[in-house]
Structures are given as structure tokens and as C-alpha cells.
């Protein structure tokens, strides 16, 4: 990767953009030998171990949200990227189906907002799951031409709802943040050295096999001292982590189902992108999300609950070719208020690779972030 980036810089072209295009290339497919796979790597010259605060989250608290004891987590960092933490699947076996079901069935429900709301009435999007389950459960689902509503969901916003046009949050566009997702996020951040994290905004991105996410930086939150969390479920993805400047060459890594990333400190405002979705290793996806594995005995106060066979039939078919990414952010510092005059951010990138691309959107020019196939973390 270092040699590749150096040659691109010497050639006078934006290294990040060129590497993004390299990994998004379909024919011939890119060489993935330089892509870091934390599930198979040991600390070395580029990868460094990260010590977590095991005392910050008790074993009981971790189990309540479907996590292993913190002492068993495998956490890594990247040399030269202080504040970036990669945690290789800290979830207990059999608990990912619960979180996937929440992402597909619960979080798209009203009063939360999704891309379909931009061009459909609230009545039409009231029960996205209910309107989609019959088709997705059908054995002939793979032969259908018409996509269900659930398959047309590209993004969902939670808490303070992100405005795709102004790239801002507003107190006038806010709904309660899901308690279960806040508890999961609060425990993750506490173990990473950030106690008291308040989950105030969430963006869920739903990727198909030909989707990508353009080069960008997450700077719309008013408080950048708090970390940004990213949870991945379903198919795998290539994640590119760059530097504080748009032209800095990125490091490529794989995100598998259950992996968690934390961007904090100097890494909180780094450019990043997702150029490609990859088939997940079949054995890993079956092991971690298989519906036949029962969740641990529920603890008092547990938010994780069993997923029914009917629900899993829909979820498992969905993730055969799709990925869900959940990012959670704290928007305001304690005691901070929104400015009276809302800020309007400039676009942090230009060109066709900016924003969410579902494959179809490459065939037509998009003029608004409100489109059904546009999203960005």
C-alpha cells in the first residue's frame, strides 16, 4: 500500500482518489494483498495493540448488550493514526442477529427518518418491514425484479436527524435515540477510554454488493472531542482511512460482520471511504449470525433478545448480498447548545466518488442528497 500510494503521489494524481478507484474497479478485480485483515493479523510494524479499560464495563453490563467481556476483546490501532481503534468482533456468538434485526425492522420505523421519506408519504413508509417480509421470505425472492421497500432503504437517521443538503443537525429535527443502541455505544466508548458518551445522532447506511461510499470527513457534529463509532453487520467491506488532508494516501483494511471502529482524538476528523463491498467469509458469517445459535441466558436489564425464525428468515436473506453500517455520534458537548444561526458545511469532496453510490447512481447524475440512493456517513 505504501509503495502504491507513493507511486500515485509521484504521478501527480490525488493518491486517495486513485486508490479509491483501484479498489472499486470491477474488471479486472483489484489485488487485495495489501488490505489489512485484523481478524488474521498480529501486531507488527503497522498494526499496534490497544489496551482497553476492562474495569469500565462489567461482564454483566457487556452481556446485556451482547458483548464479550472487555478483557477478551481484540483491539488494534494503526501506527501514525493515534485515536483510531479497530475492535475485531467483540460480540458474543449468536447476538449479532438481534442487532441486525433492529437495523432492518425497528430503526427504520417512524418517527425515525429514511431516504424513502423524501419521495413517499408517511403512510407509505409506516411499516417498511411488514410490507417487505412476505417477498423476502419467499423461496423465489432471488428471481424477483421489483425490490421491496426494505431493499430500497439506503439510509436511516436517528436522534438528531442529519440534513443531507446543509450537512448540519438541528434541534427542530430530533426524535428519541434508541435506548438499546445507546447502551451498546456507551459501553463500547467507556471501554475505549471515553466514559459518559451520549449517543445523540445515528446514521445507518444500507449497502448492496455494488455500493460504495465516497471520500469524506465527518465534521458536522459541534463537539469533535467525543469519538465516532462504526458498527458493521452482514457482508464485508474495504475501508480506506486517510489523513487530515484530502490528498493524504489512505490505508486499506477489511471490515467484517461484527467489527467495530472508533475514531477519536487526532483520528476523529480523518478522511475515509468505502470503495467496495466484498462477500463475507461464509464460515464467519454463518458462525456469527446463524439463527440456530441461541443467545446467552438473558440478564436482568438485558436489551438483547432472541430473534424468531420468521424474523431471521428475512434477515438472513437480506445479508446474503447486503451490508449494514451503523455510525453513532455525540453532537454536542455537555452544556453546549446549537447556534442560533445554523452552520452550513461546504462539501468536503468533489467529483463522482463523493457520497453514497449504490451502483445504479453511477448511471445518472444526482442533484440532491435527498435521493433514494444517496447517503453518507
241 grid coordinates: 482511512
Listing from the earlier edge strand, what are the strands of the sheet with 212-216? 251-255, 236-241, 272-278, 212-216, 356-357
pLDDT for residue 68: 97
3-state secondary structure 321-359: CEEEEEEEECCCCCCCCCCCCCCCCCCCCCCCCCCEECC
pLDDT for residue 42: 75
Print pLDDT tens along the chain (377 aa).
545 544 555 444 689 999 999 999 999 999 999 999 998 887 778 999 999 999 999 999 999 999 999 999 999 999 999 999 999 999 999 999 999 999 999 999 999 999 999 999 988 999 999 999 988 887 554 555 678 999 999 999 999 999 999 999 999 999 999 999 999 999 999 999 999 999 999 999 999 999 999 999 999 999 999 999 999 999 999 999 999 998 899 999 999 999 999 999 999 999 999 999 999 877 666 656 554 445 555 567 889 999 999 999 899 999 988 999 999 999 999 999 999 876 665 554 433 333 455 544 443 333 333 333 334 44
pLDDT for residue 289: 59
pLDDT for residue 283: 66
* φ and ψ of 133, to 5 deg: -65, -40
pLDDT for residue 44: 79
Q: At what angle do helices 15-24 and 2-10 cross, to 10 degrees?
A: 120
- DSSP annotation of 35 reads S
Strand partners, 236: 278
pLDDT for residue 364: 36
The pTM (predicted TM-score) of the whole model is: 0.88
Query: Helix (H, G, I), strand (E, B), or coil: what is residue 207?
Result: strand
Contacts of 364 (CB under 8 A, 6+ apart): none
The C-alpha cell 428519541 sits at 176
Q: CA 132 to CA 124: how far, in whole Å?
A: 12
Amino acid at each position: 500500500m505504501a509503495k502504491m500510494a507513493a507511486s500515485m503521489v509521484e504521478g501527480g494524481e490525488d493518491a486517495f482518489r486513485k486508490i479509491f478507484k483501484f479498489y472499486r474497479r470491477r474488471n479486472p478485480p483489484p489485488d487485495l494483498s495489501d488490505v489489512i485483515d485484523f481478524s488474521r493479523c498480529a501486531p507488527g510494524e503497522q498494526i499496534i495493540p490497544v489496551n482497553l479499560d476492562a474495569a469500565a464495563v462489567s461482564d454483566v453490563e457487556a452481556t446485556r448488550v451482547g458483548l464479550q467481556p472487555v478483557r477478551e476483546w481484540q483491539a488494534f490501532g494503526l501506527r501514525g493514526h493515534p485515536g483510531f481503534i479497530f475492535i475485531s468482533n467483540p460480540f458474543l456468538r449468536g447476538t449479532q442477529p438481534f442487532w441486525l434485526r433492529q437495523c432492518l425492522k425497528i430503526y427504520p420505523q417512524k418517527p425515525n427518518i429514511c431516504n424513502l421519506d423524501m419521495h413517499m408519504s408517511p403512510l407509505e413508509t409506516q411499516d417498511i418491514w411488514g410490507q417487505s417480509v412476505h417477498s423476502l421470505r419467499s423461496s423465489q425472492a432471488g428471481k424477483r425484479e421489483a425490490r421491496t421497500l426494505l431493499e430500497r432503504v439506503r439510509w436511516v437517521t436517528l436522534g438528531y436527524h442529519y440534513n443531507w443538503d446543509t450537512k448540519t443537525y438541528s434541534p427542530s429535527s430530533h426524535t428519541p435515540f434508541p435506548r438499546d443502541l445507546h447502551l451498546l455505544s456507551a459501553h463500547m466508548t467507556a471501554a475505549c477510554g471515553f466514559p459518559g458518551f451520549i449517543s445523540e445522532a445515528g446514521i445507518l447506511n444500507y449497502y448492496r454488493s455494488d455500493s460504495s461510499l465516497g471520500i469524506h470527513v465527518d465534521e458536522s457534529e459541534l463537539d469533535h472531542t467525543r469519538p465516532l463509532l462504526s458498527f458493521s453487520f452482514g457482508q464485508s467491506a474495504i475501508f480506506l482511512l486517510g489523513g487530515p488532508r484530502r490528498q493524504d494516501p489512505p490505508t486499506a483494511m477489511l471490515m467484517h460482520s461484527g467489527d467495530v471502529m472508533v475514531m477519536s482524538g487526532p483520528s476523529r476528523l480523518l478522511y475515509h471511504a468505502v470503495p467496495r463491498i466484498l462477500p463475507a467469509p461464509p464460515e464467519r458469517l454463518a458462525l456469527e449470525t446463524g439463527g440456530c445459535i441461541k443467545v446467552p441466558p438473558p440478564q436482568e436489564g438485558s436489551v438483547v433478545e432472541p430473534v424468531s425464525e420468521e424474523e431471521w428468515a428475512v434477515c438472513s436473506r437480506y445479508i446474503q448480498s447486503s451490508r449494514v453500517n451503523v455510525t453513532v455520534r455525540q453532537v454536542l458537548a455537555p452544556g453546549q447548545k446549537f447556534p442560533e444561526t445554523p452552520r452550513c458545511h461546504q462539501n468536503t469532496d468533489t467529483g463522482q466518488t463523493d457520497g453514497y453510490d449504490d451502483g445504479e447512481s453511477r448511471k445518472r447524475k444526482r442533484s440532491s442528497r435527498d435521493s433514494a440512493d444517496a447517503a453518507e456517513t
